[in-house]
Every structure is written in C-alpha cells, then in structure tokens.
A = this chain, B = another copy of it.
Amino acid sequence: MASNIPDIVISRLPVYLRALERLTQEGHEVTSSLELGKRLGISSAQIRKDLSHFGGFGKQGTGYRIAFLTDQLRQVLKIEREWEVALVGAGDLGNAIAHYRGFADRGFHIACIFDSAPSKIGKQSGGFVIQPMEEIPTIIPQLGIRIAMIAVPAEAAQSVADMLIGCGVKAILNYAPINLKTPLDVHVQYIDPVIHLQRMTFYLNDVS
C-alpha cells in the first residue's frame, strides 16, 4: 500500500488524525469531510481524495464514524503500536522534549536520553536518567530503537546522526538548525522555528 501514495498525502494524514482525536475529546462520534475541512482549512474534496487512497472510510452523505476512521488512520500510519524513541541532547530544548506529555497517546514513547556533557550524565530529565553518548551503540540496538530525535547544537548534529544511523535508526526528527546528509533509506524531518517564521515574514507588509 505504501508505495503508491504521494508523500504529500501521507503528510496530511497525521493532521487529519489529530483533528479526529480532538473531535473525540469534544464528544463527537461522527464527522464529515466538510467539517474536517473547515477545521483544517483544507477543501473537503481534498480530504475525500486523500482518504480514498486507503479505501473508502465513509459513505457519501452519511459522514465518517470518528472511532473507525481514527483506528484506520492509526493503522495506516503504523501507530496502533507504540514506538520507542531515543532523544539525543539534554539541554533546554532536550529537556522540554523530555517533559512533553503529548507523545504518549499518539504512538511514541521516549525510551532513553543521551548527552555528551559529563555534568548532565546520570541526572534526571523528564523521569529518565541521562546516559553518556558513548552508550548509544550499546543501548539503541539493544532496545531495537529505530526512531530518534536530535536536539544537539548544529555542529554536532551530523556526527550524532551518523552514529544513530550506524545503530539502525531509520527515522530522525532533527531539531538542530542544519540539513543532515543521510542514506536514502533513512527518513528525516526537521523542526526549526526560524524557518517557519521566515516563511511568514515574506507575506507581512512593511507597515510597522
């Protein structure tokens, strides 16, 4: 199934899922492409087309059963299971990530945290003991971890990524403000707030 779906469609599925989870929290049981579209600023036609890639989840006119569609999307995205994630970097950002409570219900669980600073090793962050970076080649294969988040300075990010990939990591969420060079079978996503801000200033008028 995976091979034929455009990546742009895949990129929208987590957004649909998040909206469905929100609707459930609000007590809804049924929704429509129209309602989802209004919430997300996406056309209802686009939503129906995206979901049609995975077989019809709803019937024309009767809407989507939220619980069913949620389950289906979780299966498509492979998060009906829980994934263990490694976090590298325990500075301000790493700490905030370690304390973030939004992973648990959405398919992810931070299993270990690494840092290179001797002053941090052995301390706690978000309920985890920070481990030395040198333990990565031991711990990550041991736990069978294939997803990692990188929250180290830009200068260190590529060598950390190389080490993680050498240990079998196949998906990296990179918070360091640098593009990583990775093999084709490794997926990388980036979080850099400045990139998002710069993208918006283009549209601001110079009134102030």
Residues of A within 8 A of B (CB): 2, 10-11, 13-15, 17-19, 22, 39-41, 76-79, 83, 85, 92-93, 95-97, 99-100, 102-103, 106-108, 144, 146-147, 149, 154, 170-171, 173, 177-179, 181, 187, 189-204, 206, 208
Chain B residues with Cβ below 8 Å from A14 are 194-195, 198-199
* Contact A193 B173, CB 8 Å, known A14-B199, A198-B77: yes
The 3 nearest A-B residue pairs measured at CB: A96-B96, A189-B196, A14-B198
Q: Which of B13, B96, B146, B189 contacts A92 (CB 8 A)?
A: B96
**Further 14 A-B residue pairs, CB within 8 A, beyond A95-B96, A171-B203:** A15-B195, A17-B198, A22-B154, A39-B181, A77-B198, A77-B201, A85-B197, A93-B96, A102-B193, A147-B200, A149-B193, A173-B197, A187-B204, A191-B196
Q: Are B171 and A187 in contact (CB under 8 A)?
A: no
Residue of B nearest to A182 (CB): B41
* Contact A170 B204, CB 8 Å, known A100-B93, A107-B197, A149-B193: yes
Residue of B nearest to A38 (CB): B181
Chain B residues with Cβ below 8 Å from A146 are 204, 208
Q: Are B200 and A100 in contact (CB under 8 A)?
A: no
Chain B residues with Cβ below 8 Å from A187 are 200, 203-204
Chain B residues with Cβ below 8 Å from A191 are 191, 193, 196
Chain B residues with Cβ below 8 Å from A17 are 198
Cα A146 to Cα B2 in complex, Å, equals: 41
Q: Are B196 and A200 in contact (CB under 8 A)?
A: no
Q: Are B40 and A201 in contact (CB under 8 A)?
A: no
Q: Are A2 and B203 in contact (CB under 8 A)?
A: yes
Cα A103 to Cα B179 in complex, Å, equals: 17
Chain B residues with Cβ below 8 Å from A92 are 95-96, 99-100
Q: Pick from A100, A177, A196 the residue with the most CB of B within 10 Å.
A: A196
Q: Are B179 and A200 in contact (CB under 8 A)?
A: no
